[in-house]
């Protein structure tokens, strides 16, 4: 199970797990669970036979069956309703599925990788996620930190995307000025790596010189969480101030403070220790 905010690269990690596994020569099937409706779930995941429902004019193979022998990646699994969670759990436990409209069981052999940006433990407590399903999918857990939690990676990521897009749009060689790097590092990146990627691409497309300056990088309308009241304030000071404010608003409750800051409880606890709060 891969945990992390939107845009942190959960599917990329899932694909790398598959690529380095004995199943690498078999299929990698990705399914966005948030996009599946109650009525489409069984047909999409398990398949259907001809005549199973009004529009079923021909039989269809489901994602479980297609992925058999390889990896099935279920993204945004926290968006599934309780009834659909029960159907998914049965397929995982039984290691077999039945196409909609058929009573024949089909054995499946998949490596299951799931991902979510939700707190499934809290959802279990709120009775919106099945505890038995969580146990099934949570054998190994990987947490992807947000980009603002690892700002030291931003220059390397910027260079990677710059190299990619200067070739794509035939604008090389390009370079980024020091002040531009500083601007990118100071941004909070609510959209994480996905936002960084599109920001660099847009800057490359619009630039008309060989050097990208701060004004070439434009962010969305969302506020920058780490912007200080005084430009000279160090990022560490800003971070400490934000944590103190969140702890005050949550009356010292680390779980609530972590949600306010949009970081994991583990990360918050380490930062509380770091700043002796």
| pLDDT of 270 | 75
Walk along the chain (277 residues) in steps of 10 and give the mean pLDDT of each run. Answer: 94 96 96 89 90 81 95 96 95 93 92 96 95 94 93 93 92 89 93 94 88 88 44 57 81 81 72 80
Helix (H), strand (E) counts: the chain: 12, 11
Domains defined along the chain, listed by start: 2-143 (3.40.50.300), 147-216 (1.10.8.60), 235-274 (1.10.10.60)
pTM exceeds 0.85: no
**Residue 50 Cα distances to 37, 63, 74, 102, 117, angstroms:** 20, 17, 26, 9, 36
| pLDDT of 232 | 37
| pLDDT of 236 | 63
User: Which residues partner with 73 through β-bridges?
Assistant: 30, 113
**Residue appearing with tokens 């430009």:** 231
Ordered DSSP codes for 162-223: HHHHHHHTT--S-EE-HHHHHHHHHS--TTHHHHHHHHHHHHHHH--SSEE-GGG----SS-
| pLDDT of 192 | 94
Q: Is 75 helix (H, G, I), strand (E, B) or coil?
A: strand
């Amino acid at each position: 199970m891969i945990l992390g905010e939107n845009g942190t690269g959960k599917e990329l990690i899932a694909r790398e797990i598959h690529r380095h596994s004995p199943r690498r020569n078999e299929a990698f099937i990705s399914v966005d669970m948030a996009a599946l409706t109650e009525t489409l779930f069984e047909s999409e995941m398990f398949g259907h036979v001809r005549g199973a429902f009004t529009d079923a004019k021909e039989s269809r193979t489901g994602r479980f069956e297609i992925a058999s022998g390889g990896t099935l990646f279920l993204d945004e699994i926290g968006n599934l309703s309780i009834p659909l969670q029960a159907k998914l759990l049965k397929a995982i436990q039984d290691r077999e599925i039945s196409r909609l409209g058929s009573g024949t069981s089909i054995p499946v052999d998949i490596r299951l990788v799931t991902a979510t940006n939700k707190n499934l433990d809290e959802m279990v407590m709120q009775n919106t996620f099945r505890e038995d399903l969580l146990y099934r999918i949570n054998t190994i857990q990987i947490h992807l930190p947000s980009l603002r939690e690892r700002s030291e990676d931003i220059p390397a990521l910027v260079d990677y995307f710059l190299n990619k897009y200067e070739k794509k749009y035939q604008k090389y060689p390009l370079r980024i000025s020091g002040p531009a790097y500083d601007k990118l590092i100071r941004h909070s990146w609510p959209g994480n790596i996905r936002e960084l990627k599109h920001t660099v691409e847009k800057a490359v497309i619009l630039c008309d010189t060989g050097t990208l300056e701060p004004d070439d990088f434009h962010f969305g309308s969302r506020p920058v969480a780490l912007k200080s009241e005084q430009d000279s304030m160090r990022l560490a000071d800003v971070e400490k101030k934000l944590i103190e404010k969140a702890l005050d608003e949550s009356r010292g409750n680390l779980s609530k403070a972590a949600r306010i800051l949009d970081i994991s409880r583990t990360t918050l606890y380490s930062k509380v220790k770091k700043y002796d709060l």
